Amino acid sequence: MSGLLIRTMGVVGLVIAAATPAAAQQPVPAGHIKTVAGAAFVVREHGSTPAKPGDAIFATDTLRTAGDGTLGVTLKDDTRLSLGPNSEVKIDRYVYSPGEGGMGMVLKFVRGVAVYVSGRLAKLAPDSIRLEAPSAIVGVRGTTVAIKVGA
Amino acid sequence: MAADWSVGARGSLTLIALLLTAGCGARRASPATPVAPPAPAMIVLLPDPETRVTGRIHVSNEFGGVDLSAPRSSLNARANAALGPVTILSEDEVNRLFGEALAALPPAPKQFVLQFTFESDTLTDESTALIPAILAAVKALPVPEVVIIGHTDTMGDRKSNLALGLRRAMRVRNILVEAGLPASTLDVTSHGEADPLVKTRDNTPEPRNRRVGITVR
């Protein structure tokens, strides 16, 4: 029994030791979910989770809505992005640390309907922003853009 | 033990093979389109939802680029074709196509700027008077975030200005916590000299750039 306890503690210790450097490297959120209606999801490496207002989102996350779903997010630089039903947008790249000199955003509009409202990034580093649709690329200068992908 | 493992491995391989076969079968069933072409897209420039000001975008593909600057100007992009002609959508068309997405946009972030009296820890009277408006903006949101960003002018080097900006932001954080905002909703950061209100050369004293920006969103 005590052997098991010691072994368990050892395992916990190892897990903590292994988790600490990983936690230090944890990326900061790219933004947060602010509005959700119907079925909407965040798709990350290990699967998809239902989106809830207040949830953090990260670079490389995909936002997805079902037929009855809509979703709105605000990113760290005040960029806003919203999806209509049956839609999918991937936050392919997101870096916003003006103090350290790193800035850039690539949003991939995969499917459906979405609206983008520019934030601070479009003012500080407009050339670092790319909105990608399957058959065109959009460069922005402080502005609002609506994109519909598919027939 | 070893036998169990090999059975397990063979099981997995079988599963993968079935999936690949299914994929090949589906592709063989429609020989005319071995790979689906990229989906068409409609791109529309809209006025800012709050200010109603319309910006500018540049749309491009392998055949060239098109600038859009008129409110509700729109173009279609198709695979292997030049970008479509620019048309202007009516407000009704915009609402029909994008109404649900527009309705899902989060509220516009609100910006406040706080300034200190020269070389001190005290806010100017004007800045102190803004605190109730900041608290009200936070209360109005269902999932509020408050971002406090310290800024400096370009006197001194980049690295020490990053630290100075953070000290300024921390002072404002403490003021807001005292005023009743929960510390957990406050995010404190510094942009140093990289994000000035008034653009200047390096090593230029500029009181308007020594400030703390607060975003409520």
Q: Rounded to an integer, what is the distance from CA A51 to the centroid of its chain?
A: 11
* Phi, psi angles (nearest 5°) of residue B88: -105, 125
Residue B55, chain A, CB below 8 Å: the answer is yes
Amino acid letter, B170: M
**Residue-wise pLDDT tens digits, A74-109:** 999 999 999 999 999 999 999 998 878 899 999 999
Cβ atoms B75, B177 nearer than 8 A: no
Sign for the CA dihedral angle at B139, B141, B146, B147 comes to: negative
Residue B202, chain A, CB below 8 Å: the answer is no
**Residue-wise pLDDT tens digits, B56-113:** 999 999 999 999 999 999 999 998 999 989 999 999 999 999 999 999 999 999 999 9
SS3 at position B39 = coil
Q: Count CB atoms within 10 A of the CB of residue B143.
A: 16
For the whole model, what pTM was predicted?
A: 0.79
pLDDT by position in tens, chain B (length 217):
333 333 333 222 222 232 222 233 334 444 565 678 889 999 999 999 999 999 999 999 999 999 999 999 999 999 899 998 999 999 999 999 999 999 999 999 999 999 877 666 678 899 999 999 999 999 999 899 999 999 988 998 999 999 999 999 999 999 899 988 988 889 999 999 988 989 999 998 888 888 999 999 9
Q: Which residue in the set A35, A100, A148 is minimally distant from B104, CB to CB?
A: A35
Cross-chain residue pair B107–A141, CB shorter than 8 Å: no
- The C-alpha atoms of residue A88 and residue A113 are separated, in whole angstroms, by 8
Please measure the distance between the N-terminal and C-terminal CA atoms of chain A and give it in whole angstroms: 65
**Residue-wise pLDDT tens digits, A18-36:** 444 444 456 789 999 999 9
Nearest alpha carbon to residue A117 among A103, A129, A128, A133: A129
- The C-alpha atoms of residue B77 and residue B41 are separated, in whole angstroms, by 5
Q: Which two tokens stand for residue B45?
A: 């420039």
Among A80, A120, A135, A140, most B C-beta atoms within 10 A, so best to mutate, is: A135
Number of H helices, E strands in chain B: 5, 9
Cβ atoms A64, A25 nearer than 8 A: no
pLDDT bracket for residue A126 (50, 70, 90)? very high
Cross-chain residue pair B58–A74, CB shorter than 8 Å: no
- The C-alpha atoms of residue B214 and residue B147 are separated, in whole angstroms, by 6
Residue B106, chain A, CB below 8 Å: the answer is yes
Cβ atoms A99, B189 nearer than 8 A: yes
- The C-alpha atoms of residue B172 and residue B179 are separated, in whole angstroms, by 10
Local structure of residue B207 (DSSP, 8 states): G
Residues on chain B touching A149 (C-beta within 8 angstroms) = 39-41
Sign for the CA dihedral angle at B8, B12, B17, B18 comes to: positive
Instruction: Give the burial class of B154: count Cβ atoms within 10 A of its Cβ; 0-12 exposed, 13-18 middle, 19 or more buried.
Output: buried
The overall average pLDDT reported for chain A is: 86
Cβ atoms A64, A73 nearer than 8 A: no
Give bridge partners of residue A132 from the DSSP assignment. A108, A137
DSSP helix, strand, coil percent of chain B (3-state; round to 5): 35, 25, 40
Give bridge partners of residue A138 from the DSSP assignment. A131, B59
Range of weakest confidence among A6-20, A111-125, B146-160? A6-20
pLDDT score at B4: 36
- The C-alpha atoms of residue A76 and residue A106 are separated, in whole angstroms, by 14
User: How many residue contacts between A and B have a Cβ separation below 8 Å?
Assistant: 168
Cross-chain residue pair A78–B215, CB shorter than 8 Å: yes
- The C-alpha atoms of residue A90 and residue B58 are separated, in whole angstroms, by 20
